[in-house]
Amino acid sequence: MNLYSVLRRSRAFKPLSFALPLIFALPLVAHANSSAILEGDRAIPTLGNAGMVVTSHTLATKAAIDVLRQGGNAVDASVTAAFVLAVVQPRSGNIGGGGFMLVSPGDSDDVVAIDYREKAPAAASQNMFLTKEGTVDNQLSRFSHQSSGVPGTVAGLLLALESYGTLDRKQAIAPAIELATEGFIVPARFTKGLEKRRERLQKDPGSLALFYKPDGSTYQPGDRFKQPELAKTLQRISDSGHEGFYQGETARLIAEQMAANDGLITEQDLADYQAKIRVPARGDYRGYQIYSMPPPSSGGTHIVQILNLLEPYPIDDLGHNSAQTIHLMAEAMKLAYADRATYLGDSDFVEVPLKGLLSADYANERRKLINSSQTTPSAEILSGDAPSYESSETTHFSIADRDGNVVSNTYTLNFSYGSGISVTGAGFLLNNQMDDFSAKPGEPNAYGLIGAEANRIEANKRMLSSMSPTIVRHQGKNLLVTGTPGGSRIITTTLQVIMNVIDHGLNVQEAVNAPRIHHQWLPDKLRVETGLSPDTLKLLREKGHEIEIKAAMGASQSIYLDDQGMMQGAADPRRETSSAMGLWRH
């Protein structure tokens, strides 16, 4: 039975009639502990048994919880949350970017992946960002109209809603339209972001008018921020669906701005865009089934690959964040990122050896390169013969409904505020995802990730991503829903949340809060968050690791579902607006 049939036969996925009052035998009550998380009570998950929402913004969490309370399913709540985030968190929530969604029913392993990654415009070409001297023009690839791929978010969200949801489009988008029209009270993080990116945003007249007061000053915490142009754009989507964004007024506004500024996206590019349903990347780790995104994401492939490499080691006995555990994890990460640089790209354009990369036999062969006592220099590691980055402002959320159906979703503009360029008259920012292609194969992108021919620029191609929305299943049920922003650290952050739960037995809040490490092959440095003991760092240096202590990595929003019907939500305290809310049957 396919996923559509499974979801439709599930009670929570039946279409709803909002003409009649919604009455439940067991009332549902929402609770939140986001304040406790911020005040220091950070190891206690948010609990519920009739639904759970964990997002990067309280208003999105509340809107999604309202959908679940009224009988909507996890997909309905996810679409509502995503559109609300496009209003209240414009630095990363978006309708001008793209992303990935995993949908898993509670009683079937028929998991699907929805790919709504941006695509290169038809006029894109392999050398479009190279100077006459053959070097990459980073200004052009990151902060110009040419840096934008054809947006996929609207198409992806609508595809999810139409295929697996129960709400109609108007119901799902209504909370976002209301917040854009009536405005919302600005939190401190909103102000800090606009002040930090002022120089870039104020270069664009549209962004200056959209995000700053008439005198050029920044909206302050407590101010009300309204977005009437965005409200009209959302209303067109509500009224006309896919055509309300990819054709008509919005498409015209995008194409006209592109044409006037040497951009490449045309009305035909927009009309041609379609999101795709794909088969997830899948692996097994210690009896648990791991589902994540396939290409054009590298995330799922390499999460599974790293877990395959680590499975023979007694990670639980070695201890959580011990020097030996971290050493083995880092060595496995290096091997996976070396393969990423060679093999990964849009599987609609290049042949990705996915089966080989995910196989236990390949892991057994590559594991021979791991020295348990000393680090292997990255210069000595090449990609194996197998049978990009998103900024820290990527946004992830996880949602579970009363029947255990779950959604894991990650989407982005790439950099914080994308290219910094807004669509005049439409009220939203454009992405700068074209920088995620290999503008010059073999050269690192903005975040040090190396790309090869598989990810070179081609017309209508999706650029490689690290986004890794992930679902773990066990004994036929959904167990863990996770994912994170964090650029090249998305893969390793998601990996560590999974291992913290499976190997180390941490509750989901502890798993999210624990200090993280990251290695991406090149540059050959082990990045660690603060929180590891000096003794551990000393032992790692003795093994040959060059260590960089950096700021927080990622912002994982995760859910754990136990076998007693309890749902545990974990909002990452690394992002001050993160929140988790659960519903209870009483």
Residues carrying an active site annotation:
394
Q: How far apart, in Å, are the Cα atoms of 579 and each of 64, 291, 467?
A: 12, 24, 21
**What's the DSSP call for residue 547?**
E
CA distance 138 to 125: 16
**CA-to-CA distance for 67 and 65, rounded, in angstroms?**
5
Whole-angstrom distance, CA of residue 284 vs CA of residue 249:
47
User: How far is 421 from 428, CA to CA, in rounded Å?
Assistant: 9
SS3 357: helix
**Residue in this structure with the two tokens 């009363």, named with its chain if needed:** 402
- What does the radius of gyration of the chain's CA atoms come to, in whole angstroms? 22
Report the C-alpha gap between 98 and 259 in whole angstroms.
Answer: 22
Q: Is the dihedral of CA 490, 230, 168, 49 positive or negative?
A: positive
How far apart, in whole angstroms, are the C-alpha atoms of residue 309 and residue 26?
46
**Which uninterrupted H or E stretch holds 63?**
helix 58-69
Residue 121 and residue 268 in contact, taking contact as beta carbons nearer than 8 Å: no
Asked whether the CA dihedral 88, 92, 98, 99 is positive or negative, the reply is negative
Q: Residue type at 264?
A: L
